[in-house]
Amino acid sequence: MLDKPVRACICHGRSFEELWLLAKSHAWTTAEQVSQATGCGSSCGQCRRYIERMLETGETRFDILPIESHVE
């Protein structure tokens, strides 16, 4: 098993390391800004939470986050 297996947006083929460097160089601070510029987080949406965490912490490799349930 890989250590921290989530490393990229699979829909757009961009690593979180690449997205982090882009975010830093363009002063992007929101997942929406990253999404508008790269498309990441806007297709299937699975990487959106990872992008948000990347922007908050600077991490670019993640453990698999649990699926959020929306039980009312």
Rounded Cα distance, 8 and 5, in Å? 9
- Total domains in the chain come to 1
- CATH number, residue 52: 1.10.10.1100
Domain that holds residue 43: 8-57
Distance of CA 35 to the CA centre of its chain: 9
**DSSP secondary structure letter of residue 39:** -
- Please check whether residue 25 lies inside any domain of the structure: yes
- Please check whether residue 63 lies inside any domain of the structure: no
**DSSP secondary structure letter of residue 6:** B
Rounded Cα distance, 13 and 3, in Å? 20
**H or E segment and range at residue 31:** helix 31-38
How do residues 21-62 score in pLDDT, each as one tens digit?
999 999 999 999 999 999 999 999 999 999 999 999 999 999
Rounded Cα distance, 61 and 57, in Å? 11
Residue 2 is predicted with a pLDDT of: 60
How do residues 1-12 score in pLDDT, each as one tens digit?
568 899 999 999
- Please check whether residue 44 lies inside any domain of the structure: yes
- Please check whether residue 72 lies inside any domain of the structure: no
